[in-house]
Structure 1
Amino acid sequence: MNNYTQIFVGTAFTSDSSEKISILKDYLFCINHSGMISKIVAPQDEEYQLLIETHKGQDHFHVLDDGHYLLPGFVDLHVHAPQWAQSGTAQDLPLYDWLNTYTFPLEAKYSDLDFAQSVYGNLVDTLLANGTTTALYFATVHKEASLLLAEICAQKGQRGLVGKVVMDDPEQNPPYYRDQDAETALRETEEFILAVKELNKTVKQGVYPVVTPRFIPSCSDEALKGLGDLALKYDTHIQSHCSESDWAHHYVKERFNKHDAFALNDFGLLSDKSVMAHSNFLSDEDAALFAETGTAIAHCPLSNAYFANSVLPLHRFRKMGIDIGLGTDISAGATPSLYDNAKQAVISSRMLEDGVNANLPADERGVANSRITINEAFYLATAGGGESLSIPVGRIKEGYAWDVQIIDTKVPAAKLPIFDPNEDLYDIFQKIMYNVRPENIREVWVQGEKVHTR
Structure 2
Amino acid sequence: MTEIKFGVLGQYFHCPVKGDFEYASNALVLVDDKGVIASVLTEKDADFQTQLSQLSANKQLIELSSSQYLMPGMVDLHVHAPQFPQAGKGLDLPLYDWLQDYTFPLEAKFEDLNFAKKIYPELVQSLLANGTTSAVYFATIHKHTSVELARECLKQGQRGFIGKVNMDEASQCPPFYIEPSTRDALIDTEDFIQQVLQLEGNEHQLVSPVVTPRFVPSCTSEMLQGLGELVQKYHCHVQTHCSESDWARDYSQEKYGKTDVEIYSDFGLMTSKTILAHSIFLTPNDHAVIKATGASIAHCPLSNMYFANAAMQTREILDNELKCGLGSDLAGAPIPSIFHTCLDAVNHSRVREDGTSTYLPADSRGESGSRISFLESYWMATVGGGQAIDARVGLFQPGFEFDALIVDTAVADSNIFILDEMDSAKDKLEKIITLNSRQNIRKVWVKGQLVIEK
Which category describes the TM-score, using the shorter chain as reference length?
A: over 0.9
SS in 1 for 2:13: strand
CA contact (8 A) 2:6 2:55 kept: no
- The one-letter code sitting in structure 2 at the alignment partner of 1:397 is Q
User: Which residue in the other structure is 1:74 paired with?
Assistant: 74
Structure 2 partner of 1:368: 368
> TM-score, normalised to structure 1's length?
0.97
Mapping 1:8-407, distance limit 5 Å:
8-199=8-199, 202=202, 204=204, 206-407=206-407
Structure 1 unaligned runs (5+)?
none
| CA shift in 2, pair 1:178/1:160, >3 Å | same
Name the aligned partner's letter for residue 343 of structure 1: L
Deviations 1:374-420 (A, max 9, x none): 10110011001001122111222211110111001110221521133
For the residue of structure 2 that corresponds to 1:71, the secondary structure is: strand
Q: Deviations over 1:340-362 (max 9, x none)?
A: 11101001111111111122122
* Deviation of 1:204 (Å): 5.0
- AA paired with 2:283? S
Indicate the residue corresponding to 1:443 in structure 2.
Answer: 443
- Range with greater deviation from structure 2 (388-397 or 104-113): 388-397
Check conservation: 2:2, 2:32, Cα contact below 8 A: no
Cα pair 1:357 1:365 within 8 Å, conserved = yes
3-state DSSP of counterpart to 2:263? helix
Does the CA-based 8 Å contact 2:252-2:260 persist in structure 1?
yes
Cα displacement (A) at 1:203: 5.2
The CA distance in 1 between the partners of 2:200 and 2:18, in whole Å, is 31
Q: Secondary structure at the match of 2:14?
A: strand
2:277 alignment partner AA:
A
CA distance in 2, matches of 1:394, 1:419: 27
Measure, in 1, the Cα distance between the counterparts of 2:136 and 2:117.
18
Question: Cα offset for 1:201?
Answer: 5.7
Local SS of the residue matching 1:419: coil
Q: Residues 328 and 341 of structure 1 are in contact (CA less than 8 Å); yes or no, is this contact kept in structure 2?
A: yes
In the TM superposition, residue 271 of structure 1 has moved relative to its aligned partner by 0.8
Deviation of residue 97 (structure 1)? 2.8
Q: Match for residue 409 of structure 1?
A: 409
DSSP-derived class of the 1:193 partner: helix
Mean CA deviation greater in 194-203 or 28-37: 194-203
The runs of 5 or more residues in structure 2 that have no matched partner are: none
Q: CA contact under 8 A between 2:91 and 2:306: conserved in structure 1? A: yes
Could you tell me how far 1:274 is from its partner in structure 2?
0.1
Cα displacement (A) at 1:423: 4.3
Report the AA paired with residue 311 of structure 2: V
CA contact (8 A) 2:154 2:201 kept: no
1:117-148 CA distance string (max 9 Å, x none): 11110000000000000000000000000000
Q: Secondary structure at the match of 2:198?
A: helix
Runs of 4+ in 1 over 6 A off after TM superposition: none
Following superposition, the deviation at residue 421 of structure 1 comes to 6.1
Distance in 1 of aligned mates of 2:15 and 2:400: 13
Q: 1:314–1:415: structure 2 CA closer, same or farther, 3 Å change rule?
A: closer
Could you tell me how far 1:92 is from its partner in structure 2?
2.5
Backbone CA RMSD of aligned residues = 1.5
State the identity as a percent: 43
Match for 1:450: what amino acid? L
Cα–Cα, structure 1 residues 2 and 343, in superposed 2: closer, same or farther, change >3 Å? same
